[in-house]
Amino acid sequence: MAGLAHNGSFLFYVLAAIGLCSIMIGLAAFLGGRAQGRSKNTPFESGVDSVGTARLRFSAKFYLIAMFFVIFDVEALFLFAWSVSVRESGWVGFVEAATFIVLLLVGLVYLWRIGALDWAPQRQPTPSNNTDQSK
């Protein structure tokens, strides 16, 4: 009997969520504006009319920064989960977390050594102005 009550309350929750979403979509369609015009279809953001195309070329460094963010964000997520259960995991959990951190540090050192963390553009070597004119 308890399982039926649990399933019944879940079914009520699902039906209430679907009904609420349907009501909101229906009211928006019924009460929403219907104005038509040429300027209705132009993009407008923050009080500034758009100029040019939205097809911009991003540097590969942008994607590299995004990947670093995701990697270290996931690292923070794992370490937070470990810190919540540090008492239950004991020394085994500590060794696993330390191994995880060491592997991430090895990866960070590798990225640093290959120059992936150099954000500034590379300087071109300038030719030497110290040519010997006496010869």
* Total of domains in the chain: 1
Contacts of 74 (CB under 8 A, 6+ apart): none
**Residue with structure tokens 């994607």?**
63
Is the residue at 67 inside a domain?
Answer: yes
Q: Per residue in 85-114, pLDDT tens?
A: 888 988 998 999 899 889 888 888 887 888
Domain with residue 91: its CATH number is 1.20.58.1610
Is the residue at 13 inside a domain?
Answer: no
Q: Per residue in 25-80, pLDDT tens?
A: 999 988 887 777 777 767 666 667 767 777 777 777 777 778 788 888 888 888 88
With residue 49 as reference, give the H or E element that holds it. Answer: strand 48-49
Cα–Cα distance for residue pair 105/123, rounded to 1 Å: 28
Is the residue at 63 inside a domain?
Answer: yes
Domain limits for position 96: 59-118
pTM beyond 0.85: no
